[in-house]
Each structure stands twice: as C-alpha cells, then as structure tokens.
Amino acid sequence: MSSSSSNDNPTDPIEAFKKALEKGGEAQKDFARQFSAMQADAMQNYLAMLRGLSFYNAMFKTTVQSGGRISIPEAERQALDIDDGDLVQVIVIPIERRRKKADG
C-alpha cells in the first residue's frame, strides 16, 4: 500500500474544512466583484439620467396668470428650441402661495 498524504484523502475533515474555506472565500470574492459592478452600473445610469435632465430641460420660476396660464421665459424657449405649438411636459411644484385678502 502506498503512503498518501492527508491532502489526497477526501474524507479527512481538515482537508474538507480547508476546501470549504477556499470555496467560501472564492464565493465572497465573486459576490464582491458582482456587487461592485452593479454599483458602478447604477452610478453610471444615475449620472446619465442627471446629464439628460441638465441638457434637455430648464428650470425656472414663473407666476400663474389669469386662467391658470404660465409662460416659459424666452431664454429657455430659445435654449430648448421650443416654438409655438410644440408639446412640452410641465412639472408644477408650488413654492409660494399668495393668498387674497379677505373682504371686509
């Protein structure tokens, strides 16, 4: 019978434990790599969204006129190449409410 080291014995508990630790370490490394890649992708998508918002949009304050009308300032219309009849999307966030004085 040839002598074999404990490295060749699949039933040796110490070797089984070492192999389990190695596999666990590799699994942790793979998880960390995948998680880092997902974080990088998420950050790139977020930055791309911010770039899109800043290049193709305008933010300005305006006063609501009679009948609920608002105006887009000329500089923003020119920057975004908006002409009469163009369809635009508006997001309204009230920042100051002017209350009418009570009659009295």
pLDDT tens track, the chain, 104 positions? 444 454 566 688 898 899 999 999 999 999 999 999 999 999 988 888 877 766 677 888 899 999 999 999 999 899 889 999 999 988 888 888 877 766 55
Separation CA 64–CA 78 (nearest Å): 21
Range of the domain at 16: 10-79
| Residue 86 resides in a domain | no
pTM for this entry? 0.41
Q: How many CB atoms lie within 10 A of CB 80?
A: 15
Q: Using an 8 Å Cβ cutoff, are 15 and 9 in contact?
A: yes
**Residue 94 in domain:** no
Q: How far apart are CA 17 and CA 8, in angstroms?
A: 14
Give how many domains the chain has, as a whole number: 1
Residue 93 domain-assigned (yes or no): no
Assigned domain for 67 exists:
yes
Assigned domain for 33 exists:
yes
Q: Is residue 74 part of a domain?
A: yes
Q: Is residue 42 part of a domain?
A: yes
